[in-house]
Amino acid sequence: MSQTFEVAAQVRGDGGKGASRRLRRQGLVPGIVYGGHQAPQMIALPHNELVRSLEQEAFYSSLLVLHVGEERAQVVLKDLQRHPAKPFILHVDFQRVSMAEKLRMTVPLHFENEKTARGVKAGGKVSRNLTEIEISCLPSDLPEYISLDMEEMEIGDIVHVSELKLPEGVELTSATDVETPVVLIHAGYSDSDQIDEGEGEGESDEDVGDDEVGT
């Protein structure tokens, strides 16, 4: 089970773009909490505190305890809107969770022993196709991440989604294609190979140039 974070927020009474701009000028991030068979509630929380929490990878895939006034609810982070050009959080969505109901979450993949993998030691290069995966589980089984041990991977080896080892109580969602490659190790290229390719390309360009002059 992932660790628990505490998040403090306050109720906000009005919505709309104008109200959201006023909150941001006060150093607050507008947000909403929904789900849990309750009505959605508009909230606001301190921008700087949220940014500090977001610096921890586990915050994105952990149970959070949301305090809104005297009320307390277990939630997960479901959506985050960032400013396209500035380091500001514009809006945040939380979802209430029930310990008796499964939830869908996207959790990161951790690639263990990547640098010491057999294929890497033999000169291979690693290509990651996925860095996160969508899962379904009860809140009590929610992992911070899914680990993949690359120690035994050779050049040419590919690990597919179906080969990931999921913790007990955790399963892939129906939307996940189990045949999707997660990571592979392919043969690397030496400096001499790159030089040879470059020379070949140069000769080809010169040949084309001569043909064009002659026409």
Tens digits of residue pLDDT in 150-205: 999 999 999 999 999 999 999 999 989 999 999 999 997 655 454 454 454 444 44
Q: What pTM was computed for the model?
A: 0.80
Q: Are residues 137 and 114 in the same domain?
A: yes
pLDDT in tens, 71-116: 999 999 999 999 999 999 999 999 999 999 999 999 999 999 999 9
Query: Diameter of the chain by CA atoms?
Result: 85
Kindly state whether residue 211 falls inside one of the protein's structural domains: no
* Strand 132-137 relative to strand 103-112, pairing: antiparallel
Mean pLDDT of the chain, nearest integer: 88
More confident residue, 69 or 158: 158
The set of residues, in sequence order, having a beta carbon less than 8 Å from that of 149 and lying 6+ positions away, is 112, 113
For residue 128, count other CB atoms closer than 10 A to its CB.
Answer: 13
Which carries the bigger pLDDT value, residue 42 or residue 3? 42
**pLDDT attached to residue 15:** 73
Local confidence band at 213 (pLDDT 50, 70, 90 cut-offs): very low
What is the tally of structural domains in the chain? 2
- 177 Rama class: left (phi>0) / alpha (psi -120 to 50) / beta: beta
Q: Is residue 48 part of a domain?
A: yes
Find the domain containing 31 and state its range.
4-97
Q: Report the CATH number at residue 72.
A: 2.40.240.10
Nearest to 43 by CA among 13, 21, 12: 12
Average of pLDDT values for 113-123? Answer: 97
Tokens found for residue 45: 């929380």
